[in-house]
Amino acid sequence: MTADDLKDFKRFTPKTLPVEEPLVSGHRACQGCGEVLALRLVAKAIGSPMIVVSATGCMEIISSPYPQTAWAVPWIHVAFENAGAVASGVEAGLKMLMAKGRIPEQKITVVAFAGDGGTADIGLQSLSGALERGHDFIYVCLDNEAYMNTGIQRSSSTPFGAMTTTSPAGKITAGQTTWKKNLPAIMAAHDIPYVATGSPAYQLDLMNKAKKAALIKGPCYLHVYSPCPTGWRHGTDLAIEVSRLVVETNIMPLFEVIEGRYVVRKNTKPKPVEDYLKLQRRFSHLTPDLIQIIQKRVDAEYEKLLKLEACTQPAEIKVEAPKE
């Protein structure tokens, strides 16, 4: 990425939102689905011309039940494990077609959408390879923290203590026993030009990050928090409130990694994690001791993030006064 990549970047404001809707009416998401809202915001911010690669998952199932589709742009369904590989192939194919004069030279954004299962677990290898090769595309992980479309099974992105059908809460275990995999950090470790986190409760922040990713040349990764009322057992009217609280409690801070430099949206007065956990019945079994363990972990991870920001800032250049 160079400074020229973002020279034309102008932030969206409430008065300058795009009109185009790449994801139109007719999808079949569950009532109150936060994931389809996140998908719509990202697609709207990027706009056309765009080619969408969609891994198997909730958004693939609800947006294109054969023979119907809710997509107004070219769209291809791929397997859980190969969204990164197919997106890199589409990007390479477009380059070849333009080089041969088969299609006009133009900016066509290739975007891969996948859930946490198709990203953190099954699709991690193909995504890592695509990033290492430097393909010019955007990968968006819509993280609803479990395999929701196949029965609410845990993934490596399921948070500690959450109850799923394969991490039940009972006398022996209290739900998920491992901590959530830090996917943004893994993506940043590939030294790609741009990594960012987003939440649909902060729609302008999310849309502006998606717009930046579309302007930047090279692989970009967006990790978007995506509430699931069905799997998380919260009210269908609470997706935005839950999406806001996950940021306000520092469970999922909003930040960017621009050419290796962390830029964190500060939250100096975080709310207790209990405010977030108590809205979701997947956490209803947690004891005060377990909630305190989660709180300490969240505090430690946030401090680590701030240290990453501090140590990746450009070094201050000290100029000594000339000697007489």
Q: Which domains does the chain have, with CATH numbers?
A: 3-312 (3.40.50.970)
Residue 6: the pLDDT is 86
Quote the DSSP letter at residue 144. -
- Which strands form 109-115's sheet, in the order they lie side by side? 75-78, 50-55, 109-115, 138-143, 220-225, 194-198, 255-258, 261-264
Residue 74: the pLDDT is 97
Residue 4: the pLDDT is 73
Secondary structure class of 172 (helix, strand, coil): coil
Which residues are bridge partners to 222 per DSSP? 140, 196
Residue 318: the pLDDT is 54
Tokens of residue 184, six digits: 């943004």
Sites in the chain below the pLDDT cut of 70: 1-3, 315-324
Residue 171: the pLDDT is 86
Residue 319: the pLDDT is 52
* Cβ 117 vs Cβ 155: under 8 Å: yes
Q: pTM score, two decimals?
A: 0.94
Secondary structure class of 7 (helix, strand, coil): coil
Give residue 271's identity as a one-letter amino acid code. Answer: K
* Cβ 224 vs Cβ 140: under 8 Å: yes
Residue 316: the pLDDT is 58
